[in-house]
Amino acid sequence: GESVGLHLPTLSVQEGDNSIINCAYSNSASDYFIWYKQESGKGPQFIIDIRSNMDKRQGQRVTVLLNKTVKHLSLQIAATQPGDSAVYFCAENSGGGADGLTFGKGTHLIIQP
């Protein structure tokens, strides 16, 4: 079936550098995408979302880019900090209403001092 996936299971970056986490999706009907961060021992926490009628959205130190042509989603984290260490998931909602989200496998972001 169609699914959301990520390119890398682990990403290691130097503290202070920018991080880019990628996600590929296959459901062209998806109209909403969301990034979650999950720290050890906690549930997923919302970071940022984007609708399909946009190609870029910025938050505090984070930017989400959406390329519908190649069905690609990315999360950019500026000036990565130790507190950014976590597993990052992209997810999509293509059904509308109270449908659950379809998640990718996650990328573990490791911050090197």
Query: What would the two tokens of residue 4 be?
Result: 């959301």
Q: How far is the CB of 43 from other proteins (least distance, A)?
A: 3
Task: Check residue 49 for interaction with other proteins (CB under 8 A).
Answer: yes
Count how many Cα atoms sit within 13 Å of the Cα of residue 95 in the half-sphere of its side chain: 8
* Binding-site string for other proteins from residue 10 to residue 39, where x marks contact by CB under 8 A and - marks none: ----------------------x-x-x---
At 55, the amino acid letter reads: D
If phi > 0 it is left, if psi is from -120 to 50 it is alpha, else beta; for residue 83 that is alpha
Q: Which of 61, 68, 72, 105 binds other proteins (CB under 8 A)?
A: 105
Task: Check residue 62 for interaction with other proteins (CB under 8 A).
Answer: no
Q: Give the other-Cβ count within 10 Å of 45's Cβ.
A: 11
Q: Which residues bind other proteins (CB under 8 A)?
A: 3-4, 32, 34, 36, 41-46, 49, 51, 89, 91, 93, 97-106
